[in-house]
């Protein structure tokens, strides 16, 4: 019986674990399995990434090179571009991107390609788990028919489940091993075995009754955040219009010990999850004739924040009798969040795009990002790449406006306040003490 056989292999740590996609989700996951004593194979289409792993190096901020080297040297981890080796694996976990098309509809091509590779090389006795964020129904509507088409029967020849990734890049407190894992199978046996597998590497596993529930839970998590961030951004605009300190309002409201959870405004939302996942839910809702109004409104508010930041900068420059056209504008931070190098969907890119379209001479400093090119999510101005500038006194003082898009720890914001003439702070990076001692004009969300 497939369930019994797989449970024995897992309990004895004899199961070979395959992970398709060694990015921000897949690499931390496979390293956890390898560190716990499982033999693992990582599958990549990028030969460079596979070579880096096999050389014992890491390109992900949350995975140390020491851990990768330990797993590789101990023969517990190998990376390959040879998908025929999927046939060797007892458990296969899909961790590929799920972007949006230009129409804001789900792009399932990466899941379909991964499923197609499994379909070609699968054998009886395997567990397949999808971790890529997607709309409810993907696992049993897309993957299940693909595998059944090969003549395999669920619960007899293979098991199939969904377990949403919950990676938070750059978060030292919560990483793969201590984030609870939601698991939902297409069948009860699939749920049981998948939950047992994840139980080998995480402290808490939360089984649910179906893959659809697990898929919906992931989208609910991130849609919840997107909507509440949208409200925070709208409140920031209102507070600015009323001449009230937005951040003081949030801090005051957060003193309530019940019924309130603080969310903070910013220049927009970034990363692979928050800007994209609500669209997967609203797309599925439309298939059932349901209009998800909250999601649409939050997306509208959040997507307009880069333009609002540019408006704040433009108004402040105008007060100083300067135009955006021809002004030297320094962007501090282009990654989508603090202390990481990930630029996926970063609002800073849209801000740069809008400023360059208005004729500004834009520079950036980000200690984690050496270069920004036009293919990083948005087209930036005329498509010319930007390169990280050293944060010299001359760069700061010579800028007509400094916009803080991402609050990175290595940046000395006190020094920025001493030298800059105009600062737009979208992240509350400047403390009250720093602001009060500055001669710069400071505009805050």
The verdict on 61 and 136 lying in the same domain is yes
Report the distance separating Cα 177 and Cα 180, nearest Å. 8
Same domain, 251 and 316: no
Domain encompassing residue 197 = 2-209
Render each residue's pLDDT in the chain as its tens digit; 445 residues: 899 999 999 999 999 999 999 999 999 999 999 999 999 999 999 999 999 999 999 999 889 999 999 999 999 999 999 999 999 999 999 999 988 777 777 889 999 999 999 999 999 999 999 999 999 999 999 999 999 999 999 999 999 999 999 988 888 888 888 999 999 999 999 999 999 999 999 999 999 999 999 999 999 999 999 999 999 999 999 999 999 999 999 999 999 999 999 999 999 998 878 878 788 878 777 888 888 888 889 889 999 999 999 999 999 999 999 999 999 999 999 999 999 998 888 999 999 999 999 999 999 999 999 998 755 444 444 567 899 999 999 999 999 999 999 999 999 999 999 999 999 999 999 988 888 888 899 999 9
pLDDT score, position 378:
43
Say which CATH number the domain at 274 has.
1.10.1040.10
pLDDT at 382: 54
Same-domain status, 316 and 335: yes
Which residue in 71, 89, 273, 417 is the catalytic one?
Answer: 273
Please, which residues have CB within 8 angstroms of residue 127's CB and are 6 or more apart in sequence?
Answer: 6, 90, 91, 92, 158, 159, 160, 161, 190, 193, 194, 197
177 and 309 assigned to the same domain: no
My answer on whether 204 and 101 are in the same domain is yes
Q: Is 273 a catalytic residue?
A: yes
What's phi and psi for 262, nearest 5 deg?
Answer: -70, 130
What's the structural domain count of the chain? 3
Q: How far, in Å, CA of 364 to CA of 391, rounded?
A: 9
* CA distances to 31, 266, 390 from 237, in Å: 43, 11, 32
Picking from 213, 194, 216, the residue whose alpha carbon sits closest to that of residue 205 is 194
Read off φ and ψ for residue 296, nearest 5 degrees: -65, -40
Torsion of CA 62, 331, 405, 273, to 10 degrees: -50
Distance of CA 222 to the CA centre of its chain: 10
Specify if 160 maps to a domain: yes
CA distance linking residue 377 with residue 324, whole number of Å: 24
CATH number at residue 143: 3.40.50.720
Torsion of CA 208, 211, 216, 221, to 10 degrees: 60
244 and 333 housed in the same domain = no
* Residue 375 pLDDT: 56
Give per-residue pLDDT as tens, 143-161.
999 999 999 999 999 999 9
| Residue 214 located in a structural domain | no
Residue 209 is predicted with a pLDDT of 98
Domain assignment of residue 438, yes or no: yes
- 214-225: per-residue pLDDT in tens? 999 999 999 999
Domain end call among 234, 265, 298: 298
Angstrom distances, CA of residue 223 to CA of 58, 130, 276, 440: 31, 20, 9, 38
Q: Which of 105, 133, 103, 101 is nearest to 283 (CA)?
A: 105
Domain co-membership, 142 together with 52 = yes
Residues 410 and 436 in one domain: yes
Spatial separation of the C-alpha atoms in residues 372 and 323, rounded to whole Å: 25
Rounded to an integer, what is the distance from CA 36 to the centroid of its chain?
Answer: 25
């Amino acid at each position: 019986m497939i369930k019994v056989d797989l449970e024995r292999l897992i309990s004895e740590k004899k199961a070979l674990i395959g992970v398709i996609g060694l990015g921000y989700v897949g690499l931390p996951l496979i390293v956890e399995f390898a560190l716990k004593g499982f033999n693992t194979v990582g599958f990549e289409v990028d030969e460079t990434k596979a070579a880096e792993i096999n050389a014992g190096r890491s390109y992900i901020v949350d995975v140390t090179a020491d851990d990768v080297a330990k797993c590789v040297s101990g023969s517990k981890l190998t990376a390959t571009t040879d998908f025929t080796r999927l046939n060797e694996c007892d458990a296969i976990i899909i961790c590929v991107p799920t972007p949006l098309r230009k129409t804001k509809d789900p792009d399932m091509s990466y899941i379909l390609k991964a499923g197609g590779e499994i379909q070609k090389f699968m054998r009886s006795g395997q567990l397949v788990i999808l971790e890529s964020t997607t709309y409810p129904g993907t696992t049993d509507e897309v993957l299940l028919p693909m595998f059944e088409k090969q003549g395999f029967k669920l619960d007899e020849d293979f098991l199939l489940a969904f377990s949403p990734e919950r990676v938070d890049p750059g978060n030292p407190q919560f990483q793969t091993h201590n984030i609870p894992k939601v698991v939902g199978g297409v069948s009860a046996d699939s749920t049981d075995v998948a939950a047992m597998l994840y139980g080998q590497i995480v402290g808490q596993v939360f089984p649910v009754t179906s893959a659809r529930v697990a898929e919906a839970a992931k989208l609910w998590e991130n849609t919840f955040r997107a909507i509440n961030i949208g409200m925070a951004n709208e409140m920031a605009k209102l507070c600015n219009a009323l001449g009230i300190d937005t951040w003081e309002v949030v801090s005051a409201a957060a003193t309530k010990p019940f019924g309130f959870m603080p969310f903070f405004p910013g220049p927009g939302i970034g990363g692979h999850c928050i800007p994209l996942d609500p669209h997967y839910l609203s797309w599925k809702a439309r298939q059932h004739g349901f209009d998800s109004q909250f999601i649409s409104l939050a997306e509208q508010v959040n997507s307009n924040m880069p333009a609002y930041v540019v408006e704040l900068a433009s108004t402040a420059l105008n007060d100083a009798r300067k135009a955006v056209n021809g002004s030297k504008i320094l962007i501090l931070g282009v990654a989508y969040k603090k202390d990481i190098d990930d630029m996926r969907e970063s609002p800073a890119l849209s801000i740069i795009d809008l400023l360059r379209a208005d004729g500004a001479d834009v520079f950036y400093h980000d200690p984690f990002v050496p270069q920004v090119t036009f293919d990083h999510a948005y087209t930036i101005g005329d498509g010319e790449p930007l390169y990280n500038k050293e944060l010299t006194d001359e760069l700061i003082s010579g800028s007509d406006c400094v916009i803080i898009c991402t609050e990175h720890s290595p940046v000395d914001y006190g020094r920025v306040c001493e030298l800059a003439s105009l600062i737009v702070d979208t992240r509350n990076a400047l403390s009250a003490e720093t602001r009060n001692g500055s001669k710069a004009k400071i505009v805050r969300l």
